[in-house]
Amino acid sequence: MRFAFPLFLGAVLLASPATAQTGGKAIPTTTLSLGTATPGGGFPLYGNAFAEVMNAADPQITIAPRNTKGSNENIPLLEKSELDLALVAGEPAYEAFAGIGRTPVRLKILTAIYSNPGMFVVRADSPYKTIRDLVGQPVAFGAKGSGLPILARYVLDGLGLKQDEDFKAIYLDRAGDGPAMVEDGRAAALWGAGIGWPGFAAVASSASGARFIAPSAEEITRIRAKHAFLKPLTVPAGSYPKQPEPIASLGSWSFVLTREDLPDDVAYRLAKTLHGAEATFCKQLAQACETTAANTVAAAPSAALIHPGVMKYFREIGVVK
């Protein structure tokens, strides 16, 4: 969201004409739009918590979350400066930065948000126990514009399987529709990713309970031999109801990306506010415990992709030299 009212807060910031009250005095605020995804998915859950924590930590910044179709819509909206910030899953980000199927983007990373170990969930009373068992079955691969179907495509391709040919692929209009489809039998499985992902939590909390299906150790090796950018990741025990053991899988990190021309001053302030509130954010949302400066440096495909304003802050706190 672009505004035509520049205000000076030590440096020029893009700002809305809004004000906040501090100590009885009105002070200017910088309002930034944040693209998330369709209701019922992990991005709106995270994005709303992100905005709440950031807005409370710095009254001169207002983060305004906005539901979108997900990663594949968020990237072009950022490019057109119709969003200031947006949540983007690891695989769409990887393809966009690498220029796979398109011109490479000039967007920047504000922060890595959380890791996304990909896996399927089925009813606990279903006969399906391996990925091969799901071949030929109706499988909900996530919302149409989200990054989840892209992650699934890479994982399945590494196993010699085609998402739209070897499965009866279902693409959702709303991420939140998936759990009910598993519960009532319209879908044999739901594909998802991450720790604390709402779709997995909903199936695991249902009357039928859940069984998670992730690639085996041998399958992980095969997948990474073809798609090395996917990283081995683990879903800790107890991440979901009645999940007594950790689950090994693979995936990537999701990010908050910024439009190319987000001023360095704004990115610096956002990074300082966010990482100063890490403990608060972690208490509010379990998956936000992975939103750290160190994880951003480790997860970024290249340090050059991290916003210069963020890098300035990282150098100040010693995360990078």
Q: What is the pLDDT of residue 253?
A: 95
What span, in angstroms and rounded, lies between the C-alpha atoms of 289 and 31?
25
Rg, Å, the chain Cα set: 20
Domain 116-252 architecture: 3-Layer(aba) Sandwich (3.40)
Q: What is the pLDDT of residue 240?
A: 94
- The fraction of the chain above a pLDDT of 70, given in percent, is 91
Q: What is the pLDDT of residue 27?
A: 56
Model confidence over 57-116: pLDDT tens digits?
A: 999 999 999 999 999 999 999 999 999 999 999 999 999 999 999 999 999 999 999 999
Q: What is the pLDDT of residue 15?
A: 39
Is the pLDDT assigned to residue 1 strictly greater than 50? Answer: no
State the average pLDDT over residues 161-180: 96
State the average pLDDT over residues 235-253: 94
Q: What is the pLDDT of residue 14?
A: 41
The model's confidence at residue 196, banded by pLDDT at 50, 70 and 90, is confident
Q: What is the pLDDT of residue 6?
A: 36
Mean pLDDT estimate for the chain: 91
Report whether CATH 3.40.190.10 matches the domain 7-114+254-317. yes
Q: What is the pLDDT of residue 24?
A: 53
Between 3 and 290, where is the model more confident?
290
Model confidence over 16-74: pLDDT tens digits?
A: 445 555 455 555 688 999 999 999 889 999 999 999 999 999 999 999 999 999 999 99
Q: What is the pLDDT of residue 198?
A: 93
Residues of the chain with CATH 3.40.190.10: 7-114+254-317, 116-252
DSSP 67-113: --S-HHHHHHHHHTTS-SEEEE-HHHHHHHHHTTTSPPP--EEEEEE
**Torsion angle (degrees, nearest 10) of CA 274, 278, 282, 288:** 50
Q: What is the pLDDT of residue 17?
A: 43
Q: Is the pTM of this model over 0.75?
A: yes
Is the pLDDT assigned to residue 13 strictly greater than 50? Answer: no
Is the pLDDT assigned to residue 9 strictly greater than 90? Answer: no
State the average pLDDT over residues 158-166: 98
DSSP 261-308: T--HHHHHHHHHHHHHTHHHHHHH-GGGGG--HHHHHHHSS-GGGB-H
Residues 6+ apart with CB under 8 A from 200: 121, 190, 192, 210, 212, 240
Q: Please give the structure tokens belonging to residue 203.
A: 């199936």
Is the pLDDT assigned to residue 243 strictly greater than 80? Answer: yes
